[in-house]
Chains A and B, each alone.
Chain A
Amino acid sequence: MFPPIPNPSVDPAAATPRFGEKDIMRRSASTVEPPAQRLTEVAKLIDVTKCIGCKACQAACLEWNQLTEEVGINHGVYDNPMDLTENTFTLMRFTEWVNPETENLEWLIRKDGCMHCEDPGCLKACPSPGAIVQYSNGIVDFQHENCIGCGYCIKGCPFNIPRISKVDHTAYKCTLCSDRVAVGQGPACQKACPTQAIVFGTKEEMKGWADFRIKDLKSRGFENAGLYDPQGVGGTHVMYVLHHADQPSIYANLPDNPRISPIVETWKGITKYMGMALMGVAAAAGVLHYLVAGPNKVTEEDEENAEKLAGAADLPPPAGPAGSEGRPT
């Protein structure tokens, strides 16, 4: 067993948050001075092989975050609700998979939710300063008072996690229980898990624990057992132990090689810089041309020509006055 995180101390001093504003490593649409010293990186490890699908984590998440999910309908599968919502930050996804090698039916249960990427696509896409922050312990958190509800985070996320509330039009997702972690507690889902399929600690500890679990799985014949800590997003602070780590997508479409979409990178990278440059060049070219070439003015002669043309056509017999009017000669 992984040693459980002890219960909180009731001493008021222990309630002082252990991290906060000063530990912000990245802030959306802003440049921040990264903290001189990085906090120990934390991680949640979800051992899919130990999950029994009880949904205690889902219930605990709602309860801790004081959220209520709508009463849904039974779609004939265990998934409930059918997708993440602005209230359901974490969702058990059930997959019935027939292993082609053994022809056994395997019931794959994955707890879906924010992966807390080291390189968060949501934060990269966010246009609103400070709506998304990343603490130096790895937690990616949404700051609702700064969120404008544009949904860019949804496009930035490689895992399709954030959801926009229809009530306050801001984006919601798992916070990794940053409020609990700040006072030395594990996330609510971890606390509720009856089989220790969810464990929480430092990222190093979690990798070590995962190694132990993977060795155990391999000894039981799961030769492809492994850790899901995708490097395409710089690693994540929510990791999975998978029995079939060679094919993550069998676990309800867990991306095999997640990365921030190149389209998003292009949009937030070259398009932004080239675009601003192009508009600047266009405006500068105008100013420069005006300074060099000067205004394009209608001359006296142009007016006279027009008067001749109009006068001649308009007043056939007395063309004289209109035509000769204002003529300097």
Chain B
Amino acid sequence: MSAHDPKTPVPTPADDVQSGDAVHPGHPVTVDRYTVAARINHWITAVSLVLLALSGLALFTPRLFFLTGLFGGGQMTRILHPWIGVVLFCSFALLFVRFWRANLPKRVDAEWLAHSSDLLAGREEKMPEVGKYNAGQKFVFWSMSALILVLITSGIVMWDQYFYPYTTIEQKRIAILVHSATAIFAICVWIVHVYAAIWVKGTFSAMTRGNVTGGWAWRHHRKWLRELVGKPGSAPTGRGTHTPAE
């Protein structure tokens, strides 16, 4: 039983392990990664972000104005977009509360980033062991947090129906420019996020069924897996109060 971790220290109470995370031994091993609540929260955020991107792009460039048809026309798009933004903001705020601790930067993130070209080239064995999130995921998390904060702020400034009298026209102009540029970055971060989920096979089940295979966790988040296995109450005599495997 010592064969598996020759050099890894026994994990200390780790803030990487979040409530609901658990290992179920078996063949294959399955690892709980996201609770039902976290998944619902994620998908509300995801749907609203996609709707916002579509309606926002429709108003951003004439070439995509036809997308207003998805929302019931230009007037409806203009009405709905800000409200969907409010939904996104609230939903993302909950996600933030759920995930921020596990996304705090660690020393290993710098090392991971230094090896990111290895990752992209498929030499994942050269990557350092990371916890629940790698530096790339942390980048997505923190940049989305910042971008959404800027988007809701600038969005309110340009939400003329309710907030017209509170700002000057010049401030509204700045808000529109900031809002559109920020939205572009947010869409780019979203592309990175979605691409990573497509590229790294076995990832989607984390956000659909809530779990991943042990192999996936071993390959991509080994430190997190080790922490989970060594979790007090789960290591010596089974996983205590956690649900049985399969």
Which residues of chain A have C-beta atoms less than 8 A from B75's C-beta?
148-149, 169
Residue A60 interfacial (CB < 8 Å): no
Which residues of chain A have C-beta atoms less than 8 A from B25's C-beta?
307, 310-311, 314-315, 322
Cross-chain contact of A294 among B78, B122, B188 (Cβ < 8 A): B122
A312 vs B5: C-alpha distance when bound (angstroms): 10
Q: Which residue of B lies closest to A300 (CB)?
A: B215
Across the A-B interface, how many residue pairs have beta carbons closer than 8 Å? 190
Interface residues of A in 257-295 (CB under 8 A from B): 261, 263-264, 266-267, 271-272, 274-276, 278-279, 282-283, 286, 289-290, 293-295
B45 CB → nearest A CB, Å: 20
A263 with B62: in contact, given A279-B188, A305-B215 (CB under 8 Å)?
A: no
Which residues of chain B have C-beta atoms less than 8 A from A282's C-beta?
187-188, 191-192
Residue A82 interfacial (CB < 8 Å): no
Whether the pair B28, A155 counts as a contact (CB closer than 8 A) is no
Residue A59 interfacial (CB < 8 Å): no
Which residues of chain B have C-beta atoms less than 8 A from A275's C-beta?
60, 180-181, 184
A303 vs B219: C-alpha distance when bound (angstroms): 9
A326 vs B215: C-alpha distance when bound (angstroms): 13
Most buried by B among A129, A289, A309: A309
Residue A299 interfacial (CB < 8 Å): yes
Whether the pair B78, A148 counts as a contact (CB closer than 8 A) is yes
Which residues of chain B have C-beta atoms less than 8 A from A300's C-beta?
215
Residue A228 interfacial (CB < 8 Å): no
Residue B29 interfacial (CB < 8 Å): yes
Whether the pair A267, B62 counts as a contact (CB closer than 8 A) is no
Which residues of chain A have C-beta atoms less than 8 A from B107's C-beta?
none
A306 vs B28: C-alpha distance when bound (angstroms): 8
Whether the pair A293, B121 counts as a contact (CB closer than 8 A) is yes
Whether the pair B216, A298 counts as a contact (CB closer than 8 A) is yes
Which residues of chain A have C-beta atoms less than 8 A from B176's C-beta?
152, 155, 263-264, 267
Number of chain B residues whose Cβ lies closer than 8 Å to a Cβ of chain A = 67
Residue A37 interfacial (CB < 8 Å): no
Which residues of chain B have C-beta atoms less than 8 A from A298's C-beta?
201-202, 213, 215-216, 218-219
Q: Which residue of B lies closest to A274 (CB)?
A: B184
Q: Which residue of A lies closest to B59 (CB)?
A: A127
A311 vs B65: C-alpha distance when bound (angstroms): 56
Whether the pair A306, B218 counts as a contact (CB closer than 8 A) is yes
Most buried by A among B27, B62, B77, B235: B62
Residue A329 interfacial (CB < 8 Å): no
7 new A-B pairs (CB below 8 Å) besides A160-B169, A296-B201? A263-B170, A282-B191, A307-B28, A309-B4, A310-B24, A314-B234, A314-B239
A-B pairs with beta carbons under 8 Å apart, 10 shown: A148-B78, A264-B176, A295-B200, A297-B201, A298-B213, A299-B219, A307-B25, A309-B229, A310-B214, A311-B29
Instruction: Name B's A-contacting residues (CB within 8 A).
Output: 1, 3-5, 23-29, 58-62, 65, 68, 73-75, 77-78, 120-122, 124, 158, 160-161, 164, 169-170, 172-174, 176-177, 180-181, 184, 187-188, 191-192, 195, 198-202, 213-219, 225-226, 229-230, 234-236, 238-239
